[in-house]
Amino acid sequence: MIAYRYDGSFDGMLSCIFTSFARHEDPQLIDTFDQPQAALIPVRTIPTEPDKARRVERGIRGKIGEEEWEMVRDGFLCELENREVILTRFVRLLFRYGRRAATNYADPTVDVLWKALRHMRQEAHLLKGFVRFSDYDGVLVSVISPKNQVLPILAEHFSVRFPGEQFMIYDQNHKTGFIHTATERQFIEVESLNLPKAGAEEKAFRSLWRGYFQHMAIKERENPLCQRTHLALRYRPWMTEFTEDEDTAAQLPEEKTAAFLPEFTKSR
């Protein structure tokens, strides 16, 4: 038995997969450096090596298929217990049995991964419609708190939708932000985000949006259970139509580049 430790990046996880193949090891645990170290089994520290990560990527995309690569890439965004171990074992199945391994739902590894992927992709799909932006001196800002790390998917979606805008989407749950300008796209690590007061024009638009939302409903036919089915309560704290303006103000914190998320192509 052995455990791996790595830096938490996507390339770092692919480096773990490469090491697992190269050393013929089946790690029982793969943790990041900030997690408590396993004391009962040997631990191997895996450095992030982009060249080895690209070899794993080329092997899956070239020898197995693009859809299977997307399963590995998207699987890294899922909130899944023992995520790295499951993805490592899934890649082993791919190279052993080929593409048919990805649809072998009787296999516990494949079954768990597919369920996590469905949950993550559904959450990303819903948030494409539930994201709300506010204008702060010409910069659009949205705050979300998803269960999965869906920010790369949302970043690609809104970059295509608003190519000429300056905007930021902040994932409060995973302490990650995405900044988009006409010339730059960047993921950053942000411990906390305290926004300044909304201006008069922004407050006016929020008021109009709430009024529209309230007056579109037919009061006599309100169905709270149906509403919660289509719009879960956990999304509402960050949606304009369910919130009230706050008067608190603070400065944006210092930001640091986040390099731990996988690259997403414009074909998404």
Model-wide pTM > 0.85: no
pLDDT tens digits for range 58-97: 999 999 999 999 999 999 999 999 999 999 999 999 999 9
Residue 256 has what DSSP assignment? E
Sheet of 139-144: strand order equals 134-136, 139-144, 167-171, 176-180, 185-189, 256-257
What's the pLDDT at 258? Answer: 52
Identify the DSSP state of 25: -
pLDDT at residue 249 tops 80: no
Q: What is the pLDDT of residue 268?
A: 38
Cα-flanking dihedrals φ and ψ of residue 189, to 5°?
-95, 125
Rounded CA-CA distance 15/54 in Å is: 9
Alpha helices in the chain (DSSP H): 10-22, 50-59, 66-75, 83-97, 108-130, 151-161, 200-216, 224-230
Contact of 75 with 87, CB cutoff 8 Å: yes
